[in-house]
Structure 1
Amino acid sequence: MSERRFRCAQAEDIERLLEIEALCFTSDRLSRRSFQRWIKGENCIFLVLEWDQVVYGYGLVLLHKGTRLARLYSIALHPEARGQGHASALMLALEVAAVEEDRLFMRLEVAKQNLAAVQLYQRLGYRVFGEFLDYYEDHSDALRMQKRIRYPERVREESFVPWYGQHTAFTCGPASLMMVMAAIEPATVLNQSLELDLWREATTIFMTSGHGGCHPLGLALAAKRRGFAAEVMMSQTDPLFVEGVRSAHKKEVLNLVHEQFLERSQAQAIPIRCEAVSVAEIESQLKYGAFVLVMISSYRLNGDKAPHWVVVTAFDELCFYLHDPDTDKLTISELDCQYIPVAKEDFAKMINYGRSRFSVALFIRQSDTHSVNECTVASL
């Protein structure tokens, strides 16, 4: 076989890449601008397959900030180079590069009717874990596949949690609570009406700008009203997010809302533990059957300096796995937002927000009478 090598894509490769793209795809093609952007991109791996000093294919992998997840965004091989082992070699080269970037998992989407590609990924160790209907421009369906690329599979503690994406920039809390409600009670209908109802019940009214996010006690009260048991763990019981608001009137409203939520939570006998949230506590709650909502600083995920609610769905020796309801980012798909692997040491940093290092988590169970955690039962 002639010499085959892999190298980083360069600007002078673009014409050849566009030619390969046109030969391989009838829709969902990457444009010249896209190739230019990814060649300059930082959070990606963009390799070309060079054979006899001619480019015959490429693979593009996205590296999602703050996680141990890599996602195969696009891969293409010139028809003349097929059937010679190049595709497998390219995939393995991408996996090696992702491991060097400290990623644990590779995920991808593939057209369901593309049996050759599906079989290739299966031979390489990828397993189907979901499906997207009407995913591509031609309305065909996609399979979702995943492979652990750094370590052998380890025992994982997890419960099935359906994923739901928020419809507004300020409803991550309601969306996260809805996922948990549907995990506990599968008959729960997940729609925007419920999302907005929960937001109206739990909102802080104001944030630093725009609409207010959801107060942890407001979310706990909303869960309680719907028959679920809720426990709140927070590092402080002082009013939240006031330091980021300049207006004296807004500060006054935030203080009043906080006091109302605190009084109503106490009246409803919702347990409130004034302690910093820890990795060990989250693990313990998951082991004892609780569903866990955590407020994180989204900076480590997407660069935004904002509090953001997510659901912890599982954990193993290395990682927590998150459902993130927010897909409102370029190149982010539903696949990228489910069971996101985040190393425990990274997650420990995410759960501290702001200068005060505020941390908060909600532990949700089926009902007050079905609580598994004896300490929670006693405090009720």
Structure 2
Amino acid sequence: MGANIHAGDATEVGAVNLRLATMQDLDALESIELSCFENDRLSRRRMSYWIKAEHGILVLAEKADEIVGYGLVILRKGSRSARLYSLAVLAKARGQNIAPALLMKLEELALNEQRLFMRLEVAEDNPAAIKMYKKLGYRKFGIYRQYYETGADALRFQKPIQQTNMANTMKYYPWYKQTTEFTCGPSALMMAMKYLQKNTRFDQATEIDIWRHATTIFMTSGHGGCHPLGLALAGHERGFEVEVYSTQVNNLFVDGVRSEHKKSIMRIVEQDFIEQAKEAGIRVHKNEIQLAQIEKALAKGFGIICLISTYQFDGKKTPHWVAITHADDRCLYLHDPDGGEGFYNETGTRLDRNNQSDAGESEDIDLDYQHLPILKEDFASLSVFGKSKLRTCLVIKPGK
């Protein structure tokens, strides 16, 4: 669907009451729909359905005891995203900030339902609505061609509502965008070190130097990724105290490598990391870190980086290092150094740029990779990699 928004909807709001719709509101809802839309209307029957549906949120805006607008959000089962399906305000009530108030209320209610992202479609020829969505923090990530009955295209927007909700309460945490496809580990480590020590170098030379110290030499294809012990040694060499939590330290990434020659070299590198870590006195816990330990470390101001699988992001089982920046009652928050195109799939997770061929130009996309919210209940499935179900995290502390 879309939004019936006009240029005057971004001014001061008066006394407006926002509440959930009931069956007694059907006449008013039908009247608003007929008044606001010429095409793609919701029928009275569909309005009735969404009032009663458990996977829908239908909010009304009342002013002086008159219903002047509504917003409808759909909650897809199994998804962490919500979808704004329709938003409408009567002509006589425009210019009073009612549409933004409705949308912010819907975001709040969606967040209560454990949704982390809000998505919507808006007609390409509706600049007033587009301006409002951008002002409220939505970013364009794609387009549906000839989406509306009129033949108009629909721009697709998304907002990380949990991330936005927490942004003002989080401490500053530096974010670094990796400059190659294989240096997520060094980039995540650099973010944690910079958080602990402001004069930590934040440049490509440091990124590549850390990778040279920590690389496994080979991966499934191309350049090798970074071993947790290799990253721990790189942090140790730079004056930090590093603890490693890993369910295994041998044969971490060899399953995805076919060549026995490459596997033998990776094992040699790995054994060298083990011996160096022992000589350096790096504490290695051969078990996974618990959520309570992560939260305790964050509360003490330590840096944490974690290996995840990108399967939930791009459908590919690739190991990827991220920094954990913050925790609250609901979520862990990640700094993702990838910084690609910022596109998302239907479940609200980010897509590889090659998987979104029809995406529009993205704007301010770096923000989409900072303090990325992950529900605690989802973290266990995100932070496991490979057939061996590897789980590994590094806790970085200031050096003594």
Is 1:336 the counterpart of 2:368 in the alignment?
yes
Superimposed CA distance per residue, residues 65-84 of structure 1 (whole angstroms, 9 cap, x where no aligned partner): x9957899xx999x999515
Equivalence map 1:1-380=2 (5 Å): 8-9=1-2, 51-54=35-38, 83=95, 85=97, 87-88=99-100, 91-92=103-104, 95=107, 98-99=110-111, 102-104=114-116, 160-331=172-343, 333-367=365-399, 369=400
Task: For structure 2, list consecutive stretches of 5 or more residues without a partner in the other structure.
Answer: 9-32, 41-70, 120-127, 138-158, 344-349, 351-364
Structure 1 counterpart SS, 2:190: helix
2:196–2:302 contact (8 Å) kept in structure 1 = no
Tell me if structure 1 keeps the 8 A contact 2:163–2:373. no
Q: Is the 8 A contact 2:111 2:161 kept in 1?
A: no
Q: Tell me how far apart the structure 2 counterparts of residues 164 and 285 of structure 1 sit (CA, whole Å).
A: 21
Q: Tell me the amino acid that sits aligned with residue 173 of structure 1.
A: G
Question: Partner letter of residue 353 of structure 1?
Answer: F
Partner of 1:54, secondary structure, is coil
Q: Deviation of residue 340 (structure 1)? A: 1.1
Structural RMSD (CA): 4.6
Distance 2:248 2:338 in 1: 26
* Structure 1 residues 293-316: Cα deviation after superposition (integer angstroms, max 9, x where no partner): 000111123322111101111111
Residue 327 of structure 1 deviates from its aligned partner by 1.7
SS of the residue 2:207 aligns to: helix
Q: Distance in 1 between matches of 2:38 and 2:320?
A: 46
Calculate percent identity across the aligned residue pairs. Answer: 44
Aligned partner of 1:132 in structure 2 is none
Distance 2:281 2:397 in 1: 15
Q: Residues 285 and 80 (structure 1 numbering): CA distance in 2 closer, same or farther, change over 3 Å?
A: same
Deviation at 1:183, TM superposition (A): 0.7
* 1:83-141 Cα shifts (integer Å, max 9, x gaps): 1545326624763785487324669xxxxxxxx99x989xx9x79xxxxxxxxxxxxxx
Partner Cα separation in structure 1 for residue 173 and residue 80 of structure 2: 20
SS of residue matched to 2:243: strand
User: By how many angstroms is 1:288 displaced?
Assistant: 3.2
Instruction: Check 1:199–1:70 CA distance in 2 against 1; reply closer, same or farther (3 A cut).
Output: farther
- 1:183-223 deviations in whole A, cap 9, x for unaligned? 11112231111111111111111011111111111111111
Task: Map Cα deviations across residues 309-360 of structure 1 (whole Å, 9 max, x no partner).
Answer: 0111111111111111112245371111111111111001111111211111
TM-score normalized with structure 2 length: 0.61
Q: Taking structure 1 as reference, are residues 214 and 161 closer, same or farther at Cα in structure 2, changes over 3 Å only?
A: same
- Quote how far apart the aligned CAs of 1:168 are: 1.1
**In 1, distance between residues paired with 2:34 and 2:162?**
27
1:188 aligned counterpart, secondary structure: coil
Residue 88 of structure 1 aligns to a residue in which SS?
helix
8 Å CA contact 2:308–2:385 kept in 1: the answer is yes
Residue type of the alignment partner of 2:324? V
With over 3 angstroms needed to count, the CA separation of the structure-2 counterparts of 1:231 and 1:102, relative to structure 1, is same
Inter-CA distance 196–52: structure 2 relative to 1 (3 Å threshold): same
Does 97-106 or 342-351 show the bigger shift? Answer: 97-106
What amino acid is the match of 2:187? A
Compared CA separation, residues 268 and 317, structure 1 to 2 (3 A): same
Q: Distance in 2 between matches of 1:149 and 1:293?
A: 19
In the superposition, relative to structure 1, how do residues 153 and 183 fare at CA in structure 2: closer, same or farther (>3 Å)? Answer: closer
Deviation of residue 280 (structure 1)?
A: 2.3
Over 3 Å counting, the alpha-carbon distance change for 1:91 and 1:185 in structure 2 is: same
Assess if the C-alpha contact under 8 Å between 2:163 and 2:372 holds in 1: no
* Paired position in structure 1 for 2:11: none
Q: Is the 8 A contact 1:277 1:351 kept in 2?
A: no
CA contact (8 A) 2:116 2:160 kept: no
Residue 148 of structure 1: how far off its partner (Å): 5.0
Instruction: For residue 290 of structure 1, report the CA deviation from its aligned partner.
Output: 2.0
Rounded to whole Å, the distance in 2 between the matches of 1:326 and 1:271 is: 28
How many residues get paired?
A: 293
In the aligned structure 2, how far is the partner of 1:329 from the partner of 1:288? 33
